[in-house]
Structure 1
Amino acid sequence: MHAPRKDPLLLAGKTLTLLIQGAMALAAAVIVLVVPAILFSKDEINAEVIAEVGPDALAMPILPLMLLLASVLVVVALVFLFFGKLRGIIDTVAAGDPFVPENADRLAVMAWLQIAIYVAKLAAERAAVGMASWANQFREVKVDTSFDIDVIPILLVLVLFILARVFRHGAAMREDLEGTV
């Protein structure tokens, strides 16, 4: 059974994945450009902070800032890859042949990518805490330092791994069926 060629849901899914990947590529480019700009102008930034805040101003914490930007860059790259895998699945559904071993592999990779996104997001949050005291010089910044476990990413990972098994089993059943016909 083939999916309709102009299925609006598949078209919306493919369009959304492309838009998200485009946004992630743009975000990555901005981060890559911002990092050297900050490193080359950190002395000027610190001088401006002293001029605004006074002689007791804290210097810009370069290490936490670079860790924050690196963590965000990792998240952006992983999200880009995640939606690339999803687009591959959408393409096979649009072609009418979703139960292929590649989709099982894509779903498993998407689960691992989601785990990596979660870990990188935690690293970004920790680095942001390191930036909070510096940012407090300008405006009261409230940073939540509690450690809460978000169950949604955990459930997504579980669902993706289960779907990977379903797709792998479906592909194997189809191969068995084709072998008997």
Structure 2
Amino acid sequence: ELYMTVENEEVKEGANLTIQNYSGRVAQKFTITDSKIVVDIDDNKYPGYKATLEKLLASHPNWNVKFLYTGLKFDSAVAGEAEVHGRNLVETSNSGEWVCSTCGTQLYDSGWYCASEKAIAYYMDPRNFFDEVNIFQFQDVNEYLDEACTLEGIKAKVKGTYLENMQTI
């Protein structure tokens, strides 16, 4: 249960309610229900997706997640990316498991090492990026193109997020 004090018919900070037909100070009683967001994905086939996304979406209930099923097996996709050395690169600050054991420290494109299968698998696994910052790499920009490609559209999309008060350089 939530109790709220209203002054001059204005609700301040954190509430999205309209109270009509009252003036002055009025105490209102509200019952809040838990509208748990359920992600519709087979947790047996895609372990770790459901719980992580549900936790993230609980903080951002207006976000909408759609899955793109490619029909590819993850291991096959990683192997396909790794078969051409130098196709996937990591910064030279990486070492050990992140660097391809076949290519070693051979430089590609003036300062990159060939990525190992483990590094490729890490970056291809979306679960490693289900957080409030990195999830946006999966956004389908075509869906939002018309309204979001203006400064006003961008401001509207990021209102209420950590990006709202960001300044441009």
Q: TM range, normalised to the smaller chain?
A: under 0.3
Question: What is the TM-score normalised by the length of structure 2?
Answer: 0.22
Question: Which one has the largest radius of gyration?
Answer: 2
The structure richer in helix per residue is 1
Structure showing greater relative contact order (alpha-carbon pairs closer than 8 Å, 6 or more residues apart): 1
Give the structure with the higher percent strand: 2
